[in-house]
């Protein structure tokens, strides 16, 4: 091999190694950029900041009382059996922090003589029932407390089918839980509730979710969960809550 040929060969090798190193380095940078973009996208779509903001406004509700259904008659004793004390458990939503107003499902407090609100920070406070609506299955309560957090109501008519929503409630008495889904339908009815203008969504709810909040991704409450049927949750719309405000005045 001549001297000139050998030098050209060395130059070719050096250029090839440099090109390979540049390509590998560029690939690594592209990978970092892709990872960074994925991480930023994940952060942007995380619901954790929203949940932290709205969770303190959702409380546990417990009511104790005697059901209104007829008592069982014991023919041997000749008198009706004594009434049995019953407990109802669900959730509620603080809608006015200064006045201590809480909206919940009416069926949780309709027959209760004692009602307690269990706050996010562990406080258990007595709640007074101000007004109830059997038609909408919602009720307005009041507590005496400081340092409360409230949810803002969404404007009536601002809700669309397909809109993402969160449900914040107290299923199975496990403590506060959050599930997500979409608005499945509007102007729905559900057996046992006279209001035929309910919001239907596919959020996961269970026994104990009644009275919980249905919230949009702006953190505004769009409804109060009042029933579940066929895998769907049904919520009384904000119009029902506003009617409670009017009735309480």
pLDDT score at 57: 97
pLDDT at 208: 85
The pair of structure tokens assigned to 39 is 């991480």
Catalytic residue among 136, 137, 177, 201: 137
Quick one: pLDDT at residue 160? 95
Q: Each residue of 163-205: pLDDT tens digit?
A: 999 999 987 777 889 999 999 999 999 998 999 999 999 999 9
Decide if 121 is catalytic.
Answer: no
206 is an active site residue: no
Nearest alpha carbon to residue 228 among 176, 187, 192, 195: 192
Encoding tokens for residue 196? 């035929």
pLDDT value for 96: 97
Tell me if residue 137 is catalytic.
yes
Q: Is residue 87 a contact partner of residue 62, using CB atoms and an 8 Å limit?
A: yes
Identify the bridge partners of residue 74 per DSSP, sorted by sequence position.
Answer: 79
**What pLDDT is stored for residue 79 in this prediction?**
59
Which one from 133, 177, 184, 210 is the annotated catalytic residue?
A: 210
User: What's the pLDDT score for residue 43?
Assistant: 43
Task: Kindly tell me if the per-residue pLDDT of 209 is higher than 50.
Answer: yes
Question: What pLDDT shows up at residue 4?
Answer: 52
Q: Average of pLDDT values for 44-71?
A: 86
Beta-carbon-side half-sphere exposure of residue 22 (alpha carbons within 13 Å): 6
- Give dist(CA 51, CA 17) in Å, integer: 52
């Amino acid at each position: 091999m001549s001297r000139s040929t050998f030098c050209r060969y060395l130059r070719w090798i050096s250029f090839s190694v440099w090109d390979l190193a540049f390509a590998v380095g560029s690939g690594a940078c592209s990978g970092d950029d892709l990872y960074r973009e994925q991480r930023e996208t994940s952060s942007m779509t995380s619901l954790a900041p929203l949940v932290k903001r709205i969770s303190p406004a959702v409380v546990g509700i417990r009511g104790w009382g005697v059901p209104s259904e007829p008592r069982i008659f014991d023919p041997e004793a000749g008198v009706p059996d004594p009434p049995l004390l019953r407990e109802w458990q669900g959730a509620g939503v603080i809608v006015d922090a200064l006045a201590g107003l809480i909206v919940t499902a009416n069926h949780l407090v309709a027959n209760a003589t004692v009602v307690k609100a269990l706050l996010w920070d562990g406080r258990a406070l007595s709640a007074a029932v101000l007004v109830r609506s059997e038609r909408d299955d919602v009720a307005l309560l009041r507590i005496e407390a400081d340092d409360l957090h409230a949810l803002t109501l969404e404007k009536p008519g601002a809700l669309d089918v397909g809109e993402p929503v969160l449900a914040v409630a107290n299923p199975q008495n496990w403590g506060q839980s959050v599930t997500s889904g979409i608005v499945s339908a509007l102007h729905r009815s559900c057996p046992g509730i006279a209001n035929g203008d309910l919001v239907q969504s596919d959020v996961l709810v269970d026994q104990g979710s009644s009275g919980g909040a249905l919230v949009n991704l702006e953190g505004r409450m769009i409804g109060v969960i009042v029933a579940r049927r066929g895998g769907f949750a049904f919520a009384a719309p904000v119009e029902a809550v506003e009617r409670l405000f009017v009735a309480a005045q």
